[in-house]
């Protein structure tokens, strides 16, 4: 294990301003000038109620987090579409990532509907529409030359009955292939009463449009609503997936081609004990020589936080046995009365990886946008941002 230290930073203050910054996810854009740091772009929502997320905001840093731009809301491109009176559709659970083959930032999330009503002239209510309606993977593209986001679009899923009603790729780590195609980690179902199943969808992307080519097999879970929020990584000669479920376990699967997945197995410690968690996503942190998982679990450190969503832990993966090495576990973000269940992981330089997470303070809609910096004792030669070789400017 090559972690030198882990530190935390408040990027945007919410607790002191009666705001709740949530769902922050970063894209690392390589520098155009040798010797300069990358640009790190972060998108996030404000939370105003239970799952009531604002249109997306964007901030950037050009000096590895020493300073940040002011938040900008992209209302025209990343905002909502009016469906009918009081009913709007927007994009949420959005994860941006630099796409090297097209020199764009591709963000992938999913659609959600919001009801926006005025009970009287002085009181307006906004809340997520929890009725059972079709939802789809959605995406948006940022052109780096013009520095603008194009309006978000819905991805048309493969024409298959099993994903005719619901096909969602939000809150996930997706994978860019060397040929520029995108493996979208998603969940789907064919009818309202079905459980959601997980898998991957192979997509073409030309820098403007994304088109689904085909989908892999189903991973099935019968508890609760089924599987949710899968994340994938390619490590050595395998594709790996980690999965959220509602049976107090987190799950993993493997594949040789990224489409055909083996039967899922529960995450265990290296002594064989299953790891207990509660309805929360996990994500991968990849080095060229080591693989880690970032997650939450039941522990004596939860202090009553809903669904055990704090602290945020990391541990090294035993890639032969696909288990977590217990003695390597460390805290990335400690518990501080807030849920930390929605986060993302990015390699920023060979010496540093970042975990971005938003707080949701118990019983209140306030929370800071936090950055967990994982510093390495040895450089991480996993390609940074480009999907190819490490840019020379980032080697030192």
Q: Quote the pLDDT of residue 120.
A: 56
- pLDDT tens sequence for the chain (396 residues): 899 999 999 999 999 999 999 999 999 999 988 888 999 999 999 998 778 889 999 999 999 999 999 999 999 999 999 999 889 999 999 999 999 999 999 999 999 999 887 655 555 567 888 788 899 999 999 999 999 999 999 999 999 999 999 999 999 999 999 999 999 999 999 999 999 999 999 999 999 999 999 999 999 999 999 999 999 999 999 999 999 999 999 999 999 999 999 999 999 999 999 999 999 999 999 999 999 999 999 999 999 999 999 999 999 999 999 999 999 999 999 999 999 989 999 999 999 999 999 999 988 899 999 999 999 999 999 876 433 333 333 333
Strands, DSSP E only, in 226-339?
A: 228-235, 238-244, 251-255, 265-266, 283-286, 291-295, 312-318, 323-324, 330-333, 338-339
**Rounded CA gap, 89 and 81, in Å?**
5
Q: Quote the pLDDT of residue 393.
A: 35
Q: How far is CA 75 from CA 45, 117, 152, in A?
A: 12, 19, 11
Instruction: Respond yes or no on whether the N-terminal peptide bond of residue 324 is cis (omega within 30° of 0).
Output: no
Among the listed residues 216, 163, 215, 173, the one whose alpha carbon sits nearest the alpha carbon of residue 194:
163
Q: Quote the pLDDT of residue 159.
A: 95
**Rounded CA gap, 118 and 280, in Å?**
33
Q: Quote the pLDDT of residue 35.
A: 80
Backbone angles phi, psi at 17, to 5 degrees: -125, 15
The 3-state DSSP composition of the chain as helix, strand, coil percent (nearest 5) reads 5, 50, 45
Q: Quote the pLDDT of residue 126.
A: 76
Q: Quote the pLDDT of residue 238.
A: 96
Backbone angles phi, psi at 357, to 5 degrees: -150, 145
Burial class (CB within 10 angstroms; exposed 0-12, middle 13-18, buried 19+) of 382: middle
Q: Quote the pLDDT of residue 122.
A: 53
Q: Quote the pLDDT of residue 324.
A: 98
The DSSP secondary-structure symbol of 163 reads G
Burial class (CB within 10 angstroms; exposed 0-12, middle 13-18, buried 19+) of 84: exposed
Q: Quote the pLDDT of residue 387.
A: 34
Q: Quote the pLDDT of residue 124.
A: 55
């Amino acid at each position: 294990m090559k972690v030198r230290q882990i530190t935390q930073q408040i990027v945007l203050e919410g607790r002191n301003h009666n705001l709740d910054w949530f769902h922050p996810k970063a894209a690392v854009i390589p520098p155009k000038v040798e010797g300069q740091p990358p640009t790190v772009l972060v998108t996030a929502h404000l939370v105003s109620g239970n799952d009531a997320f604002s249109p997306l905001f964007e901030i950037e840093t050009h000096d590895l987090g020493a300073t940040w731009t002011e938040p900008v809301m992209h209302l025209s491109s990343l905002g909502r579409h009016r469906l009918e009176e009081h009913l709007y559709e927007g994009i949420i659970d959005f994860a941006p990532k630099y796409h090297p083959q097209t020199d764009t930032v591709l963000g992938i999330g999913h659609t959600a509907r919001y009801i926006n009503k005025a009970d009287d002239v002085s009181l307006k209510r906004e809340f997520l529409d929890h009725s059972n309606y079709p939802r789809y993977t959605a995406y948006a593209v940022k052109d780096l030359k013009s520095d603008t986001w194009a309006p978000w679009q819905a991805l048309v899923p493969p024409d298959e009955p099993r994903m005719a009603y619901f096909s969602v790729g939000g809150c996930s780590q997706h994978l860019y292939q060397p040929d520029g195609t995108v493996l979208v980690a998603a969940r789907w179902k064919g009818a309202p009463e079905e459980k959601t199943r997980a898998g991957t969808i192979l997509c073409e992307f030309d820098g403007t449009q994304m088109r689904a080519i085909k989908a892999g097999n189903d991973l099935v879970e019968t508890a609760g609503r089924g599987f949710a929020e899968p994340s994938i990584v390619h490590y050595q000669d395998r594709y790996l997936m980690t999965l959220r479920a509602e049976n107090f376990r987190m799950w993993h699967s493997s594949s040789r081609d990224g489409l055909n997945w083996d039967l899922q197995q529960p995450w265990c410690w290296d002594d064989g004990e299953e790891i207990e968690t509660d309805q929360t996503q996990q994500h991968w942190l990849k080095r060229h020589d080591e693989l880690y998982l970032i997650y939450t679990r039941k522990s004596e450190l939860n202090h009553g936080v809903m669904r055990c969503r704090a602290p945020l832990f990391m541990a090294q993966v035993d890639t032969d046995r696909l288990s977590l090495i217990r003695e390597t576990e460390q805290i990335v973000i400690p518990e501080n009365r807030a849920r930390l269940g929605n986060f993302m992981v990015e390699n920023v330089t060979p010496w540093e990886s970042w975990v971005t997470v938003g707080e949701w303070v118990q019983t209140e809609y306030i929370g800071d946008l936090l950055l967990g910096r994982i510093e390495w004792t040895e450089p991480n030669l996993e390609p940074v941002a480009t999907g190819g070789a490490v840019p020379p400017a980032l080697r030192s």
